[in-house]
Structure formats: structure tokens, C-alpha cells
Chains A and B, each alone.
Chain A
């Protein structure tokens, strides 16, 4: 049997003490509203109502409107001149719009009022509005609010804000219920349904019962309390983690479940906490690890030694870079992240090769200069940059797909690698 991990033995502390390159200028990133695109599919009985401008409405439909919806589960309450001039009472207007919406869609059980740049600049108090609307529409509909504005949030931080808004409303652990007197595991962050099922199966084989947050249905929120131990499945959940800790839950620090190594050490964190024997752990994980290793080998041939450059997008960049470097033998040219949460990223940073150029934030023109100068074999970037870079002869992997594809866990390790090898393979094919 081939050795699974580590592929490279690191004796240093990696990038633990790294000082990221910080440049401030134009940031070519999405705002947090974009999170709605996947959150509306995850929580199927929720509706996301953005309170913002036509720009906000345009953003969401440009991203999602290529799908034809019989019943879209998101919309925008567009602020107009009358609202700004104070001619209309904004709160009355909002009540009217929500009423109209709920009449049209009686199947909605949870409504998110999503704040935007305009609503925040004019200081529209959506949390008060949510409270008020909650009183009106309770118990048929729960109304919550969070901010997805560009001034406050970048791309995946929209999910963080959404989940953090859900935390105070989660039911408390009930000490009367026998199953809730012992520590329980919660996995936090939106995962594809198939990934959820696999991870649940693995954990249950180790006799750990697990809840996922967010759930697929707004009526099935997991309970939280001092007995809750939570693992982050996604790296962009700073506020959600803090909110859970405020409810007494304990964070289990780990790498993120990307690749074989990441998944193993992520599971290990739970196994240790719940006293799973090393023997059982090995028994449960051996087969999937071996399978994944075999599947990865195909992609390693393509990726080995290739140089990769990450533009900031989702905060997934550092774990991805760790996976591609340690399991696919790729060289890291630059790893950009919109925001670096040192504590959640600690396990990941320790595994990155010392001296990796990590950048936080962005000045897109300067970063493009660096990218062109470095001539990487592959560039991970947003769709605003991808085609222009391809036209300059670079091979790109558009970053957003990494948020929309099942990539976590053992069974998806090869799919994840495939996302990176595919553009290279395509370039070879088309060049022939």
C-alpha cells in the first residue's frame, strides 16, 4: 500500500508566522449577496429578500438568471426615490412588500431580509424590521436579517452572515433529553447533499452522531448548547463560529476537509474529542483513503510541478493551496485571500511551505502585474478576469466553481483535483 500522507514531511512550522502582502486598491470580488445563489438551494423553504438598489437585483439575476425559474426563491425590494426623500415611510413600504411576497408564496417558512450597501449607507434598520415582521407573521414565517453588502462582506462571507443570524434562534440543548446530555457534534457550513451524507456515514461508523448546520429545511434547526462541539466545514465562518461559541459551543480546531490529508485530520479532530479509538478510526477511514489516493494519482500526473497563482475570492484559497501543494505536488506562486482569519486558518498555515507568498486583500491591477510577471501554469481567479487572462495565453480555473461543486471529503478529493487538471487537459487537447 502506498503511503497516503504525508507526501512531504515538513519539519518547519510552515507559514504560521507569515506576514501577508497587503495591498489596498481595486478589489475584483463579489459582495456577500452572491451567497444567496447557493443558500436558497440549501434551505429549500427559505426566501431571500434583498433590500437594496437595482444594482443588487441586477447582480443576483446576472448570476442566477441563466437558470429559468418557475418560482424563484429570492428577490429584491428596490429602494426608490420616494424612500430616499423620506416621502414614504421605509418601514411601512417594507411591510407592504413583504406582505405582497408572502401572499404570492405561502409555502415560505423563513424569510431573510438581506442588507445591502444602499440600505446600510442610509442606515435602514433591518433588524428592527425583521423583529416587527416576525411578530406579524409568526408562526407561519420566521423573519431574520443579515448583511450581504459589499462594504461589509466579500462573497462567501454572505453565508457567514446568514448562518450567524440563524444561531441565536437555534433551539437550546435540553438537559432533560437523554441524548442531549452528552457532547454532540455539529458540522458548520453549507455542503453539497452528497458530501453531507458521506461525512455523516463516516462519523456514524465511529459512533459519533452529527448534525449539519445549515439544515436542508428551516424547520429542522439543530440544537446548540454547552455540549455542542463544532467542526467548521468551510473556512469563511468567523462570525458564525463566534456566535456558536457565545451559545456555549466549543470549536474543534482542524484543517478543512479538502483532500485526503485535510479530510483525515478534520475527522481526527472529531474522533479525538469523542474518544474514538485509533484502531476504529483507521478501520473506518482506511478504505476511502486508499480509494481516494488511487483516484488522485491520475490527476497528479497532470498537476505535478505546475505553478499555481490564486487571486482572492472565497477564503478557500489557503486550504486549496495546501491540498494542491502537498497532495498534488504543485508549486505555489501566490496565494491570495480576501480575508485571513489566523485562528481558523492556523492548522492550514502550518502545512504550507515556509516562504509561500500569501496576500490578503487586493489591488487588482498590481496583482495582475505580478501574475503576468510570474507566468504561472495556472491562475485561479474570478470570472471577471478569467477570459481576459485566457486570451493572454494563461490557463485559468474560475474560482466560483469551487463553491458550487462537491469538493469536500475523501470521495470528492479526485473531483477537486479534476477541477484543476481539467483546464490544463483542455488546453492540451485544443492545442493539438
Chain B
């Protein structure tokens, strides 16, 4: 049993719903108790879809458990086919139905339907949403993709875009941005899947020359299978950030057998923005990253190479990609945190005292508690991160969006300088939020400091003067200064921290 205040991923059947809902003519019959239809809201409210997700739930109740829930499932499946006339059907269980073991796959098979039926085995108590989406997409392709006919010579190379789905973080605009980029390079798109794909589209996936995997969490198993079955190679670089996009262009050109265009001209405006002197104060800002593996690995590279931040910690909830994230963390000299436990993430952030958190909706809760600026880089996200405007994360425009998004929550340069010089201003003080954000900074900062003080009492004690001096350090690095000083005092065997200890520690840690 695990105490969970917030969960990073939903159950695996929500992943399956994301595939079914992304597609055009697939229906999903889900054996689930009354109430599990809440998942419809993810699509109709958070993503604001104007249609019901193509999901029929059996919605059994307690009184049904004494009777024949298997029959209930069969009725639901029959009626769904009759009503929605899908081209293929997914069948599976939610977590509660998994416990009553009705075997939807077998039951659907017994109905002898004349469309392809894909049974889903999604272990709800072991696996989670992204795995469910990946597995569903893979099973769907395994059941449907046809061996291509003899390939006729085409004037332009073609590829599939794999991975974008319903309820994906910025999938809609990423697909648009990358499609434009590929077309500009001279590559045609054979199929985008699962987003907006039909069963007929899936059948012809193997016709493309190669695959572009935008979201490995969802598309990689399928890409690997397509590689094994049809010798279709796939891209490994995810075009998130200016540099990664350029690498991606080179990789695509190699796979497509076309000449690499003048790549130095293909840069994002964000590159100049980051070079301009206004951004100098961003140098060495201490940033913490958490999210799905793809977005964290890419964001770490952007933070370090393109923004000049210092990555002080990173982690992911995507256990399936733990190795990639660990390798990435090594590059920045940190240990990757692989966990789906919100409380562990919070503990690490408390420990590290970053100046900026790049994370998910869940990290926003942590950031609020600690009064740390935060931007969202990965699912899970809420309604405000399905914006009306064009807001890709990928490609060159994506890099521009990322620059604006990440810098926005930070206090702007002039204000930061002035706060460091003058502490007593009645309007611009450290308890107030950055003035460009308007509203108030939460009071939690004070709570948090009280906690550190208590902890500190186990170690060296702070003299009144030193405590006062500490108060003069800008608030967003003060937590770090406190920790460093305490650590220094402990290492040096200092019992009482004085002003001198504080500055000794500062000199010790400054490099």
C-alpha cells in the first residue's frame, strides 16, 4: 500500500482510452464499476473535446456482483457495436473488474463479431497510464498492420509520426510543428498515429520509409515492433529544444537519404533571446526537473546548453525509461530520482532548494508550498495546459514557447538586483511575489523556514547575528545558503554559526 497525495499517472485503462479517443473509428468496451466514467471528463473538460470518448462502460453496481457480470459485459459489447459501428474494438477491464476476473477478451471472442477485436491485458495494480497507452497502441498495430505491397518508387521519402495521443501534453501543436518541419525538409507524412488515425491508416503503417517517434512513452514499443517486422528504422532524437531539433533534422535526413539543409539558418528565436544581455542573470540559476522521461531528458539539455541554468536535480515517474534518465543525470553530475511517489519528489526539492522547478502539475503543488517559481514541462497537466493558442514544445517554435514559459515565473533582473540591495521597501519586499506576476506570494515560505530552523537545532546553532546576516541573502538562494552553512559547520565541527562561519561557508562553496 502506498500513501499517495497526488498520482503522476492514471491507471492503465486511461492510457487505453487515450488511444481509443485519439483515433477516429475505434471503440473501447471497458468492464468497470459505476463511477469510472469520470474519465470521460478528462477528454471533454481538460482537453475540451466536443464529442464523447468512444468508450462504453459496463458500470456494474454492487447488486450486479451477485449476478452475471459477464453477461452484462457481453450485452454492452453487442450494443456498442450496433450503435457506434466501429471499424475495430478494444475490450478490457478497469482495476475493479480485474478483481472479478470476467475475461473480456474471451467473452468478446465468443460473440464472434465481424470486426477486429483487440483484447487488452492491462495489469492495473502494477502498471500505469503511459504503459497502458503504449501497450494498447502496440496491440492495435500488431492486430491491424498489413504487410506492405511491393513498394513503388516515390518522388519523396515518407514517414509515420508515432506517439501523439488524446490528453497528451501539447501533442496537437507538436504534430503540426513537426509535420511542417518534415514537409519543409522534403519528407511526406504517411500516417500520424494514433492521433486522428483510422483503422485503415493503421493498416498501412508499414508503407512508410521510416518512423518518427515523438513520444517514446507511447510510441516506442510499436516503433521497435515495426523495426523487427518490416525493417522500418525510427528516429531516436526527440526534437525538443533548438539543439535537439537540429540533431533531429540531421537524423531525419540520414534516414530519408536526403541532403542536410543549411542547418545554421534553422534556429529558434529563443537562441538569440538567451544570448541577449537581458538573460545574463539566468546564468547558473539552480533548476530542478521532474516529469515523464522524454520531457525531462530534453528539458535538462535545454536548461543546461540553451539557457545556461545549473541542473541541480532531476527525476522521472516513467520507470520504463529509468535507464535513459539515469544516463542523462550523470551528464549533470546528479543522481536521478526514479519514483512515482510525490512525497519523495517533495523531499528532494526541499533538500535541494532550487530556484526554479520545471515539472508537472504536481510539482506546482510543491512549488506553492515552498514558494519556488515553477513552470510545467510535462504531463500530468490540467486544463490551462491545453491552451487555445498555438503552443508547441517541439521544433523551433517550441523552443520559443519554452523560453517564454520558463523565464516567466522568475523574478526579473532589475527587481532581483534592487531586492538584494534594499530589503525594507514596503511594496517590493521578499515576502511579495515578483511584481510582474501581480498576485501575492504565499505565506508558506515562512512555514518552511520554521521547519528548517527546527531541523538545524540538531546540529550547529545559529547566533542571532548570523541569522540576521542570513536574512540579507536574497530569498531564492537563502535556503541553499542556510544548508551550505550548516553543512560546512558540521564538517568543520563548528558548534555555533557566526557571521564569520556564514562567510567562510560562502567562500568555501564558491567556485
Contact = CB atoms under 8 A, between A and B. Distances in A.
Interface in A38-61: 51, 53-55, 57-59, 61
A384 B44 contact: yes
Is the interface on chain A under 10, 10 to 19, 20 to 34, or 35 or more residues?
A: 35 or more
Contact of A383 (B10, B44, B64): B44
A238 to B, nearest CB: 16
Contacts of B4: 54, 57, 75-78
Given A77-B2, A93-B1, A388-B52, A69 B124 contact: no
Given A90-B1, A384-B37, A68 B124 contact: no
Nearest to B100: A121
A122 B13 CA distance: 20
A391 B51 contact: yes
A53 B41 contact: no
Contact of B365 (A25, A70, A390, A391): A70
A78 B52 contact: no
> Which of A62, A72, A94, A96 gathers the greatest number of chain B CB atoms within 10 Å?
A62
> Which of A55, A88, A154, A386 gathers the greatest number of chain B CB atoms within 10 Å?
A55
Contacts of B384: 66
Contact of B128 (A54, A150, A151, A387): A54
A388 B44 CA distance: 7
A117 interface: yes
B1 A79 contact: yes
Contact of B44 (A94, A154, A387): A387
Given A55-B11, A68-B365, A72-B365, A101 B45 contact: no
Nearest to A117: B96
> Which of B1, B2, B383, B444 gathers the greatest number of chain A CB atoms within 10 Å?
B1
A53 B44 contact: no
B294 to A, nearest CB: 21
A385 B51 CA distance: 8
A152 B61 CA distance: 7
A29 B41 CA distance: 11
B7 A58 contact: yes
B223 to A, nearest CB: 27
A78 B125 CA distance: 9
> Which of A65, A66, A120, A365 gathers the greatest number of chain B CB atoms within 10 Å?
A65
A81 interface: yes
B11 to A, nearest CB: 4
A118 interface: yes
Sort A-B residue pairs by CB-CB distance and give the 9 closest, nearest first: A31-B35, A150-B35, A391-B50, A384-B40, A93-B1, A53-B95, A117-B96, A58-B10, A151-B62
16 contacts: A25-B79, A26-B37, A26-B76, A29-B34, A31-B33, A55-B11, A55-B14, A58-B11, A68-B368, A72-B365, A74-B5, A79-B1, A149-B62, A152-B62, A365-B79, A384-B44
Interface of B: 1-7, 9-11, 13-14, 33-42, 44-46, 48-52, 56-62, 64-65, 76, 79, 83, 94-96, 99-100, 123-126, 128, 343, 361-362, 364-365, 368-369, 380, 382-384, 442, 444
